[in-house]
Amino acid sequence: MKTEKIHNSQETYLAKWLEGELSDTELQKLVSKEDFLLFVKIKDTFEKVEKPSFNTTKNYQKITDRLHKSSPRVVPFIPNWVYSVAAMLVLAFGVFRFYKASLAVETSYGETKEIALNEGTKIYLNNKSTISYPKYQSQRNVTLNGEAFFHVTKKGAFVVSTPLGVIQVLGTQFNVMATDKLFEVICYEGKVRVIYNDVEKILLPSDAWRVIEGKTPQSWTTKETTSGWITGETTFRTMPVKYVLSALEKQYHITIRAKAIDKNRLFTGSFPNDNLQKALRSVCLPLQIDYDQPDTNTILLHKK
């Protein structure tokens, strides 16, 4: 009975690539950019694999003898050992992807979520925010876009990366806002290191620090022991009104039209997260602003 070894397509083009019959450019057309970069990294692991030595004279004689037989066989152009390495590469690639897998959590308008990591850290994600973190990784790194409150266990370094800056901690409780050109970190317990461009800032309990639109950083102290939005009330301290209105829109899934007012005015106060009318009054009355609601999802602001 004739037995044929069948290689899957992935092993075949990887084998050709390992033998130099397929260029990097050609391989990139067969796989995604991310997969290509991973293949290159994993390939480095196999570069020390010694190719089998061949006796040229004996192999030539064997091939000649086979050619004179009545049932000629096709001699493969790619040695079988290359397929073995390619198969190992595919396996290593799969293992690497498995351990590199990440999880992502996203919230919608007015929605918050609690996330419990395997090592004990708890993350509370505010509305219209996204966070991702490795499923299997010894180092504790997460990526945040939006706002979240962190209760980090004391089990080594914990890093929060955002589009605007990086926060490094050991064991602590802190809040991060990184959205709409607003980067704010408030430390409630422990110690936090904030890295923003070339600036590093150490925050101790009750310390707050923020940068708005790349301007001069602001620092202050707070008497709060946790973020207000977790307990149902969103709080602001000398915040430009446009960011307050953005928070209202995210909480209540509304559109606020405010061309008639100065959106750079500063607001200090809070609004409830469960009642739109009370929230609007909490913001508009101190600023002496009137509002109309032509439909369920639209709010028009104008001066009194």
Q: What is the pLDDT of residue 3?
A: 36
DSSP 69: S
Give the helix/strand (H/E) hosting 274: none
Token representation of residue 115: 């996330």
Per the CB < 8 A criterion, the answer to whether 245 and 237 are in contact is: no
What are 169's strand-pairing partners?
Answer: 158, 192
Predicted model pTM = 0.68
- So what's the pLDDT on residue 294? 92
CATH 3.55.50.30 location in the chain: 232-304
| Topology of domain 232-304, CATH | Phage tail protein beta-alpha-beta fold (3.55.50)
pLDDT score recorded for residue 118: 84
* Both tokens assigned to 131: 């966070």
DSSP assignments along 5-18, one per residue? ----HHHHHHHHHH
Question: Where does CATH 2.60.120.1440 sit in the chain?
Answer: 101-229
- Burial of 71 (C-beta count, 10 Å sphere; 0-12/13-18/19+): exposed
For 101-229, CATH number out of 2.60.120.1440, 3.40.710.10, 3.40.50.11540, 3.40.50.12500 equals 2.60.120.1440
Q: Which helix (H) or strand (E) holds 116?
A: strand 113-116
Q: Hey, what long-range contacts does 19-26 have (CB within 8 A, 24 or more apart)? A: 19/78, 19/79, 19/82, 21/77, 21/78
Query: Residue 188 has what pLDDT?
Result: 96
Each residue's pLDDT, cut to its tens digit, for the chain (304 residues) gives 333 344 445 556 566 666 677 777 776 666 666 666 666 666 665 555 554 554 555 555 665 565 555 455 554 555 555 556 556 655 555 544 544 567 899 999 999 999 999 888 999 999 999 999 987 656 689 999 999 999 999 888 899 999 999 999 988 999 999 998 999 999 999 999 999 998 899 999 999 999 999 999 999 999 999 999 999 999 999 999 999 999 999 999 999 999 989 999 999 999 999 999 999 999 999 999 999 999 989 999 998 7
